[in-house]
Structure 1
Amino acid sequence: MRELAIVKELKRDTVLLEKARTQACASCGSKNSCSVSQGDKIVTIQALRNDIEVEPGDTVEIETGKLSATRVAMIVYGIPLIVFLAVLIVVNTFLKSEGLAVGLAFASIAVVYGIISIYDRRNRQKLMPRIVRKVVLPDGFITQ
């Protein structure tokens, strides 16, 4: 999905962008890297510069990742829950110890979130929005 945004701040390889929050945000795969500001419906997004020279105030076209909201929810909530329940049931069935089963189930969640964290760090560049091009808008055109 491609959208227009305004450059707010430059960093080394990334840029902070602002854009009006749209209905598309609800199903966007990159909404997890967005932080919605208090008050207005303005979204702040961190995006890869993609070797495109921009300055604060420039309007750019960005392309968001292809990771669906359902897949993100499954990774963050579903997999840890499934692992928790599986460890709880298996340990309780074979060792007949509820306390040990609960302890190991919670420990398994910590391990799963550690693995998810490693996956996120390794794939963050692929999942981040990217600047596609700098856009020159006609006078009086407002992107937000």
Structure 2
Amino acid sequence: MREVMDVIDKDENYVYLRTTRTQECESCAMKGGCTLLGGPNELKLKAKNTEEVDVKKGDKVIVEMPEVPVVKLSFLAYGIPLIVFLSIISILYTLGFSDIFSFLAGVLGLGITYFLIHQYDKKKLKDRYLPVILQKLEKKIDLKLHEKGEI
């Protein structure tokens, strides 16, 4: 999926982007839920800084959003820690340890699992699902084409 976003910052590795998610929010069943606390329908994210497209703060760019395996990543973030937590509690309780000790050991196992997932994410998934900047939009001509739906 391609989107038009604004460049809000840039460093040597990443370009930081912002967009107002108007099209996606219109079809969402929870529309308005994101702004419950007063925040706008904005999405802030970072993209890979490629040397092919020279951008600076304030530019509008066309960004290709990657396909993300939501179920796999959700299981990694929620399922595995929950399984570890429940397994530790069940095993220790079955072995005759007290409820509080079993619970605290489960919480410790949960924390260690999240730490290991964080390390895996930092090393293996670091830039895998980041959007890629395809091109920089010229101020007047390309914005008119985007509004017509041609881009």
Q: 1:106 — aligned with what?
A: 107
What stretches of structure 1 of length at least 5 have no aligned partner?
28-37
Find the counterpart in structure 2 of residue 5 from structure 1.
5
The number of aligned residues is 133
Residue matched to 1:91: 92
CA distance in 2 between partners of 1:130 and 1:94 (Å): 52
Residue number in structure 2 paired with 1:119: 120
Higher mean alpha-carbon deviation, 13-22 vs 70-79, is at 70-79
- Report what 2:31 is aligned to: none
Residue 20 (structure 1) aligns with: 20
- C-alpha distance 3-108 of structure 1, shift in aligned 2 (>3 A): same
Instruction: Tell me whether 111-120 or 2-11 shows the greater mean CA deviation.
Output: 2-11
Deviation digits for residues 99-136 of structure 1 (CA, Å, limit 9, x no counterpart): 32112111110111001110121121112222122233
Which residue matches 1:135? 137
Displacement of 1:13:
1.4
1:97 Cα deviation (Å)?
2.9
TM-score, scaled to structure 1: 0.76
Range with greater deviation from structure 2 (64-73 or 76-85): 64-73
Is the CA contact 1:19–1:143 (under 8 Å) kept in the aligned structure 2?
Answer: no
Question: Taking structure 2 as the reference length, what is the TM-score of the superposition?
Answer: 0.73
Tell me how large the CA RMSD over aligned residues is. 2.7
Query: Aligned partners of 1:128 and 1:101: how far apart in 2?
Result: 39
Shift of 1:143: 6.3
> What fraction of aligned residue pairs are identical, expressed as a percent?
25
Partner residue, 2:35: none
Question: Whole-Å Cα distance in 2 between the matches of residues 117 and 4 of structure 1?
Answer: 30
Give, in angstroms, the shift of residue 67 of structure 1: 2.3
Quick one: distance in 2 between partners of 1:133 and 1:6?
12
Q: Structure 2: which amino acid aligns with 1:75?
A: L
Structure 2 portions without partners, runs of 5+:
29-37
Rg larger in structure: 2
Q: Report the equivalent of 2:78.
A: 77
